[in-house]
A and B are shown apart, each in its own frame.
Chain A
Amino acid sequence: MLDDFTLRVGAGEVVALVGASGAGKTTVLRLVNRLLLPDAGGVRVQGRDTRDWDPIRLRRSVGYVIQEVGLFPHLTVADNVAVVPRLEGWEGDRVRARVGELLDLVGLAPATYAERWPDELSGGQRQRVGVARALAADPPVLLMDEPFGALDPVTRRQLQDEFGRLQSALRKSVVLVTHDMAEAMALADRVGVLDEGRLIWCGPPPALHGCDDPRVRTFVEAVAPPSRAGAQARP
C-alpha cells in the first residue's frame, strides 16, 4: 500500500493527507494506531516503535475519528463518549464530568443530547459526538479519517471552523485524512499529497500553489481551482 513513505508530525501540529481514493491515506492512520504493522520500516509514536507498544495502551492514547463515525448504536451519546474513560477505569463522577465537558466543547448541550441515541442525531451531531469520543481520555495524538466527509457543505464548514478553534486550544498532534483540498488547506499546518502509496509532496499550504509537480498540480486544480477563492471572497 505504502512505499518509501516518510512523514514526521510534530507535537501540536496538524498534518492533512490528501489524495485520490486508494492512495493509501487511511493506511497511514491504521499504521499509527497499530491496526496494521508495517512490512518494512517502522512507525514511531511518541518516540516508540508501534511494535514495542502494547497495542491496547497505544490505541487508548491515540484518538480516532472514523469515516462514517462508527458510533455504537446500542449506547447513548454519553455512553459513547464515556467508552475509553470507562475502559481506563475512571470513576463514575469523573466520567460524567468529562462527558459533560466534552459535549460542551463540541457544541452539544449535555442536558439535551447526553441521553439521546445515535440514530436520533443529525449527521453533523453524530460527527461531533465522534470527535468528543476520540478526545475523551485526552490523548496526545488524534487521527481523523474524513471526519467531515459525509456532511452537507454548511455543516461541514461550521465543523471545520470549530475544529480550528478546538485545535488552537488543545494543541494535539493531528493526522487528518481528506479528499477535500480546501479543507486540508484551511485546517492543516502542513499538507501531504499521496499518490499510489507515495508521498509526492509535503509542505505548508501556501507553498502548494508554487509546486510544479504535474501530479500535484492536476490534483490541486481538480479539487480546488485557483480562481475559486478570489471569486467567492469578492463582496
Chain B
Amino acid sequence: MTTLVRFWLENRLELATLVGEHVLLVAISTTVAVAIGVPVGIVAARRPRLASPLVGVANVVQTVPSLAMFGFLLPVPLVGGVGARAALVVLVLYGLLPIVRSTIVGITGIDRAIREAGVAMGMTPRELLRQIELPLALPSIVAGIRVAAVVGVGSATIAAAIGAGGLGQYIYRGLSMVDSTVILAGAIPAALLALVVDAGLFLLERQLSARRRAAPRRAAAIAAGSIALIALAGSAAMAARGSGVIVVGSKNFTEQLILGEIVAQTIERETGLAVQRRLNLGGTLISERALLTGDIDVYVEYTGTALTAIFRQPPSTDPETVRTTVRELYARTGRTLLPPLGFDNTFAILVRGADARAHNLRTIDDAARVAPGWRAGFGYEFLERPDGYAGLARTYGLAFRDPPQVMDLTLTYRALAAGQVDLIAGDATAGLIRGLDLVRLEDNRRYFPPYDAVPVASAATLLRYPEVHRALEGLAGRITADDMQAMNYAAEARGEHPAAIARRFLHR
C-alpha cells in the first residue's frame, strides 16, 4: 500500500494527465453516444418492428470483446487506426446499446392514457415527443446514460492498447512488467472514477424522477456544466502532456517501453523538437499499422519479426540477408530502416545456472544430451511459430521426458528457477535471466533467425526533419545485449520507470 501511494506521489503529474485523458475519452464518447442513441431510440420506440432487430444488433456489438473490437477497426480507414479517435469509435459503439434500450423502454413505458390525452388535445407528433414523451422518459434515459458512462470508464482502460492514453496505460505497463503496484496504480483510480460517475448520474436520475418542473431544467444545467468542466479539465490535462511534432511509438512490453523512451529522449536532446510518446501500443501489427498510417513517426522493430510477421516471408538465419530484405520491403512502403541498435533479441534457450555448471552445458547440443530426463516449458507462441519449437527439436534432435508444458511466457522464467521445468525458451534480453541466475545456451547450429533491434521511421518524416535522421543514426550499435538485459532487469525486478532508466543510460 505504501509503495502504491509512493508511486502515485512520484508520478502525480502523469497520474493527473492519465485521469484527465480517461475522463475526456468517456465524456466525449458518452456525449456522442447520447447524440446518436437517443434519436435512434425515439425512432425505434415508434416502430416496434424496428426496435427488436435494432436492440439485437446493439446487443451483439456489446458482446464483442473490446480488444477484438479494436482489432477489427484497426484497418478501417477514417475511424480505425490507433489513437484516441479509434478508441472513441469503439467506446461510442459500446455506449449505444444501453442508451438506445433505455430510450425505447422510457418512451414505450409511458401510460397509454397520458399519451392519448396528448393526442386528443391536438398535439402534433413532435409536440407530443417534446412535451410529453421525452420529459417522462428522461429518468429512464438518464439511467441508460449512467450504465453507458460506467461501462465506458471500464472499456476506456482497454483503449490504452491502441495508444489512446488513459489509466489503462498503467494497467498495461504493470501487466507487461508483472508489477502489481503499477497495475493497481491504474486500476484503483479507474474503479474510483467509475464509482464517482455512477454516483453522480444516480443523483441526476433521482432529481429527474422527483418530478419537479424546475428539476429537469436545473439538472440539465448541472449536467451541461459538469460536462463542460470535465472537457475543460481534460483538455488542460491533454495540453499539459503536449502534442509533439515527432510521435514515437512502442509495443507493449518492458523492453519496448525503454527503447521508446531512449528514442524519444534522443530526439528531444539532439534536435530540440517536441516529441509525443505513444508508447505501449498493443503489439507488432498495431505498431506497424500506426507507422503506415502516420499515427506514429518511429518505433523500434526487430528484423526477424518484420520479416516473418509483417512481411510474411519465410524465416532466414543470416542477419545481413534479413536486414537487407527487410530494408527493401520497408522502403517500398515509404519507411526507412535505420541502423541496428546493437543487440539481437532472439529466442534464448535457458537453463538453471546450477544445472549448466553441474553438467558443463554451453550449447544447445550439450543440452540435447541430458534433455531426455528433463521437462520443458514454453510460451504458447513459441510452440506455434514457424521459427519455434518444432524446428528447434528437429535441428538439435531434442526430446524431453514429457511433451513441453504450455504456460505464459513471463511465468516460464519463474517456473524454471523454481525447478518445475528444466529448460525454457525466453527472450535473449530478458531482465529475469540475470535476476534468477539463468544461463543462456548458445545456438551453435544457428537455428534461430536474427532479431536485431532497429528503429523504423516514416521516410517522409526523416526527409522533413533530417536532424531526426541524424539523431537516430547516432544510436547505431549503442546498446549491447548486456545493456538491454540490465535495463530490463531494472524495470522488471526493481520497478524503475522506463523514462528514468532511459535517461540514466543516455547520460552515462
Q: Which residues of A contact B (CB under 8 A)?
A: 33, 35, 55-60, 64, 66-76, 79, 83-84, 87, 117, 119, 133
Contact = CB atoms under 8 A, between A and B. Distances in A.
Given A76-B213, A117-B211, A70 B122 contact: no
A44 B213 CA distance: 39
Contact of B122 (A57, A117, A133): A57
A72 B132 contact: yes
B123 A87 contact: yes
A58 B114 contact: no
29 contacts: A33-B120, A35-B119, A56-B122, A56-B123, A58-B122, A59-B122, A60-B121, A64-B117, A64-B120, A64-B121, A66-B113, A66-B116, A66-B117, A70-B113, A70-B116, A70-B117, A74-B135, A74-B136, A74-B213, A74-B216, A75-B213, A76-B213, A83-B121, A83-B131, A84-B122, A87-B121, A87-B122, A87-B123, A87-B127
Given A74-B135, A74-B213, A117-B211, A56 B124 contact: yes
B116 A35 contact: yes
Main secondary structure of the interface of A (DSSP, over half): mixed
B134 to A, nearest CB: 10
A55 B118 CA distance: 13
A66 B120 contact: yes
A68 B114 CA distance: 10
Max count, chain B CB within 10 A of own CB: residue among A73, A74, A75, A133: A74
Contacts, number: 60
A85 to B, nearest CB: 11
A67 B113 contact: yes
Contacts of A76: 213
A87 B123 CA distance: 7
B120 A59 contact: yes
Given A64-B120, A66-B117, 7 more contacts: A59-B119, A60-B121, A69-B113, A70-B113, A73-B114, A73-B211, A74-B135
Contacts of A117: 211-212
Contacts of A58: 122
Contact of A70 (B114, B131, B136, B212): B114
A43 to B, nearest CB: 15
Given A67-B113, A70-B113, A73-B136, A84 B121 contact: yes
Contacts of B116: 35, 66, 70
Contacts of A60: 121-122
A128 to B, nearest CB: 16
Nearest to B216: A74
A72 B117 contact: yes
A67 B111 CA distance: 13
Contacts of A69: 113
Given A66-B113, A68-B113, A79 B213 contact: yes
A64 B121 CA distance: 7
B114 A72 contact: yes
Nearest to B211: A74
A64 B120 CA distance: 7
A14 to B, nearest CB: 20
A162 to B, nearest CB: 22
Interface string B419-454: 000000000000000000000000000000000000
B174 to A, nearest CB: 48
A218 B159 CA distance: 76
Contacts of A75: 213
Interface string B126-147: 0100011001100000000000
